[in-house]
Structure 1
Amino acid sequence: MNNFRFLVDPVFSKRFGIAPFIGPKRFRPPALNINDLPDDLDTILISHNHMDHLDYPSVKQLNKRYGERLTWFCGRGTRQWFLDNHVKNVIELDWWEEYHFSKKEVNIAFCPAQHWSRRTAFDTNKSLWGGFAVWDTTHKFYFAGDTGYTHNISIFRQIGKKYGPFNLSAIPIGVYEPRYMMETQHVSPDEAVQIHIDVQSKKSIGIHWGTWALANEYFMEPPEKLSQAVKNNQLHPSSFIVVKHGEIVDLP
């Protein structure tokens, strides 16, 4: 975003779990590795502490390369995990709390989501989960994190009203079946399109699909369902897309 560089929930490991050889294995390798990242990386935004979003080996390697040149943002209650793992430059935020990153004149806000948190058997929902709004004088970006759709009171309309319209959003579209189990924590492609509409996003990219075997849907199904949902809502096909691994999308 202009000269501000950031990552969201970076996971470079082949598997995620309590050990490198335990847990789901990636369908595809990452599009790049830590050594491919630019030297002037500014911040990393962590949506919640689930292991497929907060990956200890990746955090360790990033911290080794950047140290305190890198600022980490997370939800309330997550900072202590970083401190315990020798990551010092960490800012934790509550829902709707904002931070002005004066180094690059960028604002970062932690936004509510409908999900949960857990890293061990003893810390369920002891830390906050959510998404992020990031904006400067010319651009606005929204990262939804993991979330279900809040049907009764749309927090996403509130986010759109408070921080939108967004030039670009990253919205999850996968890990949604079976619905009776996943509905409260992961949106379907149809609900992802509704979030796109609610937050007033000019362009969105579908994320959180095709990486790990975490649900019952075929891992290549979400983009097809997304395309149909975009059509059903009479939106332009280019308004909500998916990208290939390593693909670069330039915004006009």
Structure 2
Amino acid sequence: MADHSQSDENTTDALFTPCVKNGRYNNPWKTWSKPQFSLGILKFFFGIGSEANVPKRAADLDKTLPVIKPDFAQFATSPASGIRHMWIGHASSLVQFDGLTFLTDPVFSDRCAPVQFAGPKRYRPPPCTIEELPKIDCVFISHNHYDHLDYYSVVQLNRRFGDDLRWYVPQGMKKWMNDQGCKNVVELSWWNEHIHSSDSGFKMVSTPCQHWSKRTLRDDNMALWSSWCVLGPKHRFYFSGDTGYCATFSQIGQKYGPFTLATIPIGAYNPRWFLKPQHVDPGEAVMIHREIKAQKSIGIHWGTFTLSFEHYLEPREKLAEEAQKQGLKKDEFVTVAHGEVKIFGAQSENS
């Protein structure tokens, strides 16, 4: 791995590339600060969920965060216009357009942890099982944290779809995927482009985001983290993965926008003194939406696992406030229910 570094002043002159030192990646932006072990961070981990106030009864959650049973017959063919989207939960989406169907960061397990008897437990179930999914062409993984890369989901998807399923992963993750039995793996660094197939008309691009990686005790930042651009013949989709706010998004918008639809995180942001470098809040999410030139966006990374301090419904409420404050049109940046299937960016919608 080469050693590349750029300062924030070079945003219009050159594309940001990851810093690499002693085999470990780092972010090139001044907005990044690495989490350091401290008493404050210890208090954060022990205090997670203390202010989230997630109802204990499923009946109460059904009223505020309903889970819809999807009709997968809708996915038999791609929409003639627009992008079909279903939110599975957290950063997991099922997306279909221009003849391609794919998943982002699929997590179907009860817990996002190394084991299934401890760790953050989902308080809203996935709307379907892996066996109920329609045929999937590919999967995009943003990074290797347990709430985005789930071993059990990877194994089940590979068992069901085998080598017909292509995995797009950031640099440094291919070996892990191969070790789990996945053979059709494409590993890309930031700004690398890959033609999905000669007949599909799709180009997949790994693009920057501000985050970090860790899977075991000693592998900090030995794999890269990415956002993803999925560029089809007629429509364009952007998946931001996990990210703090930084200077890269205007570059992505200039190079690959406008996007028909984007999925952007809006949750797991409090307290800001700790989470700001790695997780955007709703106001920053709206800024990303504008900078990447998204026509429509969906708020993800909320309403599924308790990973921070904010009230469990606050991301949805603050997103609506920020969208109005920053002058977005009605329904330009929205949230959806788990399992809700909806087409965004259809010609009739834009006319």
TM-score, scaled relative to structure 1? 0.97
Question: 1:139-192 deviations in whole A, cap 9, x for unaligned?
Answer: 000000000001xxx200000000000000000000000000000000000000
Instruction: Quote the Cα distance in structure 2 between the aligned partners of 1:248 and 1:38.
Output: 13
The structural deviation recorded for 1:105 is: 2.0
Q: Quick one: which amino acid aligns to residue 29 of structure 1?
A: P
Instruction: Quote the Cα distance in structure 2 between the aligned partners of 1:222 and 1:149.
Output: 16
Instruction: Quote the Cα distance in structure 1 between the aligned partners of 2:180 and 2:236.
Output: 32
Match of 2:287 among 194, 200, 207: 194
The residue that corresponds to 2:331 in the other structure is 238
The residue that corresponds to 2:164 in the other structure is 69
Match of 1:163 among 247, 252, 256: 256
Q: Structure 1 segments of 4 or more deviating over 6 A?
A: none
The residue that corresponds to 1:33 in the other structure is 129
C-alpha contact 2:143 2:169 (8 A) present in aligned 1: yes
Task: Report the structure number with the largest CA radius of gyration.
Answer: 2
Question: 1:72-97 deviations in whole A, cap 9, x for unaligned?
Answer: 00000011111111111111000000
Instruction: Quote the Cα distance in structure 1 between the aligned partners of 2:162 and 2:274.
Output: 39
Instruction: Quote the Cα distance in structure 2 between the aligned partners of 1:223 and 1:207.
Output: 10
C-alpha contact 1:96 1:109 (8 A) present in aligned 2: yes
Instruction: Quote the Cα distance in structure 1 between the aligned partners of 2:330 and 2:215.
Output: 38
TM-score, scaled relative to structure 2? 0.70
Task: Map 1:1-252 onto structure 2 (within 5 A).
Answer: 1-39=97-135, 41-102=136-197, 104-150=200-246, 154-251=247-344, 252=346
Instruction: Quote the Cα distance in structure 2 between the aligned partners of 1:104 and 1:71.
Output: 13
Instruction: State the secondary structure of the residue aligned to 1:166.
Output: coil
The structural deviation recorded for 1:33 is: 1.1
Q: Quick one: which amino acid aligns to residue 107 of structure 2?
A: V
C-alpha contact 2:98 2:233 (8 A) present in aligned 1: no
Identical counterparts, % of pairs? 48
C-alpha contact 1:71 1:89 (8 A) present in aligned 2: yes
In structure 1, the gaps of 5 or more residues are none
The structural deviation recorded for 1:237 is: 2.3
Q: Quick one: which amino acid aligns to residue 180 of structure 1?
A: W
Question: 1:117-144 deviations in whole A, cap 9, x for unaligned?
Answer: 0000110000000110001221000000
Instruction: Quote the Cα distance in structure 2 between the aligned partners of 1:24 and 1:36.
Output: 25
The structural deviation recorded for 1:197 is: 0.3
Q: Quick one: which amino acid aligns to residue 125 of structure 2?
A: P
Greater Cα shift, 190-199 or 242-251: 242-251
Q: Quick one: which amino acid aligns to residue 33 of structure 1?
A: T
The structural deviation recorded for 1:104 is: 2.0
Instruction: Quote the Cα distance in structure 2 between the aligned partners of 1:111 and 1:215.
Output: 26
Q: Quick one: which amino acid aligns to residue 160 of structure 2?
A: R
Q: Quick one: which amino acid aligns to residue 327 of structure 2?
A: Q
Instruction: Quote the Cα distance in structure 2 between the aligned partners of 1:178 and 1:161.
Output: 32
Instruction: State the secondary structure of the residue aligned to 2:342.
Output: coil
